[in-house]
Amino acid sequence: MSYSLADIRACSIQEAARLGYRINPTLPLLVDAQNPRATDEIVRRALILGAVVAGSIGDFPASILFRWVARQSLTSGLTAAERRYFEGASPTRVELTDLRDQVESLWAMAWVLGKTDVLDFAHVADDALGIMLPDIEADEDCSRFRQFVRIRSAHEIISACDLSYCLHWALVDARRRGEPPPGAVEPYVIVYRRRALEWVLSDEDWDAVSLDT
């Protein structure tokens, strides 16, 4: 390891304070963080999330999404909930919100893959996300998306994950205190980005990622 987790945490605390979040100096370091998963595995998850988000915020019939996912050989990477959704099961209001909010997981994944230069926790996902992804409506394949990938270093990804961990703790702490959530963006932005970053640095299944604080 050519970087210090303590130094990463010092930077996270500084950035959290700048963004207006409470700081916990005793929060454990991310000692279990691993090197990033294989690039192809991250790409596959990003493409699946792209289809999930497209279906949840757009006007795509589930059957079209499922056929596209199958043609791109992505079905083996679907979670049970994603498979039910693509097979036409009507999601509950809570499930639909979860599907839509994964746009922030997708944005974090795009950053990990070098598709965007900045992962700014003060702002929501950029509209450029739609341009990066395959055009499902036009039945575009994944070749363009796969071609321009530059996986970020473990240091960069762990730093972003550590910051999301610190910010998430501040959200939970505010809720425990009965205070409004801190920061300028909705809490789901932090939570769903953290989910993606934790997944990239672990060997957990997508629907089993731990977000303990």
* Distance (Å, whole) CA 42 – CA 198: 12
Cβ atoms within 10 A of the Cβ of 91, count?
A: 17
Predicted confidence (pLDDT) per residue in 147-205, tens digit:
989 999 999 999 999 999 999 999 999 999 999 999 888 999 999 999 999 999 999 99
Residue 28 has which token pair?
A: 């454990």
Q: Is the pLDDT of residue 2 over 60?
A: yes
Q: How far apart are CA 60 and CA 51, in angstroms?
A: 9
Q: Which pLDDT score is estimated for 58?
A: 73
Does the structure show a pLDDT above 70 at 71? yes
What pLDDT, on the 0 to 100 scale, is given for residue 3?
74
Which letter does DSSP use for residue 77 in this model?
G
d(CA 160, CA 138): 34
What confidence category does residue 96 fall into, taking pLDDT thresholds of 50, 70 and 90? Answer: confident
| Mean pLDDT of the region 14-29 | 93
Q: How far is CA 51 from the centre of its chain?
A: 14
| More confident position, 3 or 111 | 111
User: For residue 130, is pLDDT > 90?
Assistant: no
| Span 55-77, average pLDDT | 89
Collect contacts of 183-191 with beta carbons under 8 A, ≥24 apart: 183/19, 183/20, 183/21, 183/121, 183/122, 184/19, 184/20, 184/122, 185/121, 185/122, 185/123, 185/124, 186/124, 188/101, 188/104, 189/104, 189/121, 189/124, 189/125, 190/121, 190/164
What is the rounded average pLDDT for all residues in the chain? 93
Q: What is the pLDDT of residue 1?
A: 57
Residue 54's nearest CA partner among 103, 8, 123, 125 is 103
pTM for the model stands at 0.94
Digit-coded pLDDT (tens) for 105-126: 999 999 999 999 999 999 999 8
Question: What does the alpha-carbon distance between residue 50 and residue 146 come to, in Å, rounded to a whole number?
Answer: 13
Backbone phi, psi, residue 142, to 5° = -95, 0
Q: Residues 47, 41: contact at Cβ < 8 Å?
A: no
Confidence of residue 213 (pLDDT cuts 50, 70, 90): confident
Rounded to an integer, the average pLDDT of 13-26 is 93
In whole angstroms, give the CA distance from residue 42 to residue 45.
5
Percent of the chain clearing pLDDT 70 (strictly above): 99
Residue 31: Cβ-neighbour burial (10 angstroms; 0-12, 13-18, 19+): exposed
